[in-house]
Amino acid sequence: MNQLLCFTSAFCLILFHGYLSIAEAGLIGVNYGMLGNNLPPPSEVIALLKSRQITRVRLFDPNYDALQALQGSGIDVILGTLNQDLQNLGSDLSFARNWVQENVIPYSEAVTFRCISAGNEVIPGDLAVHVLPAMRNLKTALREANLGEIPVSTTVSTAVLGNSYPPSRGEFTKEVSPTMKSITEFLAAAKSPLLVNVYPYFAYIYDQQNISLAYALFNSSEVVVKDGQLGYKNLFDAITDAVYSALEKVGGNYVVIVVSESGWPSNENGEIATIANAQMYNNKLIAHVSGASGTPKRPGRSIDTYVFAIFNENLKPSGTEQHFGLYYPNMTEVYHVEFTQ
């Protein structure tokens, strides 16, 4: 996270789904982070997800045990690369081929890969220059392996935005605009989504004078922000539409956003990061994106969304970062979230 403000048997034939702009409910997944020294084995975690009827998961990087456990589970996967691999992925096609050979091909008949993400939240930053070359080489390697229908993208935080209010004025910062324009062109040509981490929590804590807690928690019944003919009752939609506006300004009118992370911490920030608020946010988030309403700017367009995260992770930075989990490491609930709406 960037606090500044994306089957029936092990032998079945897998179809790799594209991201279509059709009016349907967004599908819900979870982020499976592993920055903890007390977490259960992946086989138990995947069994837990199946018991909760969770059908999507995001892995931040390839994990052999997790990928093994996912085979034949019916749980689709967004698979990330390590940020430190981006330079090699972008500069060396053979490295990208080996990455696909080791991390995708062995599982491709029993796992549906929804997307490969080249890095996580490296734009802006020193690694940003390597993202698009890495995406291109990964796509080439997938095509050579007859897996070209798997989308390739990258994951960004809202730190890429120079302006986000009102949503129609959303635009990328001058620093990242050339990079995001090139990435957007790649995504548009490939009909692949942009993965975006959307956190109303961080927007709220950095601007409490202008943002109400109710607006951040999906708890406003009235329009809070009027943007031309569009009205916003929640901050999640406003942030998402600000990114859509930024994409439009660099030629990405038809690029779809997948919300790769969203969540709310349950501890370590007074009366803001509480179990009650986290439970409210995540349940209302799931209900909202499952309702097929889309956003004011993209009504009726599905917003596939991945809740952050499965577990409280004790090796993340101290403070709220360790308290985004739906579950404690012993697999008891921090609070209950209803995934089937």
Which residue numbers are catalytic?
121, 261
Structure tokens belonging to residue 32: 């499976």
User: What whole-number distance in Å separates Cα of residue 32 and Cα of residue 43?
Assistant: 12
* Helix, strand counts (H, E) of the chain: 10, 12
Q: HSE-up of 30 (CA within 13 Å, CB side)? A: 26
What's the Cα-to-Cα distance from 325 to each of 10, 25, 77, 279, 302, rounded to whole Å? Answer: 30, 24, 19, 11, 25
- Report the largest interatomic distance among the alpha carbons of the chain, rounded to a whole angstrom: 55
CB 39 within 8 A of CB 46: no
3-state helix, strand, coil in the chain (%, to 5): 35, 20, 45
Which among 332, 321, 320 is positioned nearest to 268, based on CA atoms? 320
Which among 325, 335, 279, 328 is positioned nearest to 33, based on CA atoms? 325
Q: What DSSP letter does each residue of 114-181 carry, written as one string?
A: EEEEEEES-SSSTTGGGHHHHHHHHHHHHHHTT-TTS-EEEEEEGGGEEE-SSGGG-EE-TTTHHHHH
Q: What angle do CA 175, 138, 195 make, to 5 degrees?
A: 50
Q: Coil, strand, or helix at residue 327? A: strand
CB 89 within 8 A of CB 141: no
The values of phi and psi at residue 152, to 5°, are: -120, 135
Identify any residues that bridge with 120 across adjacent strands, giving them in sequence order.
155
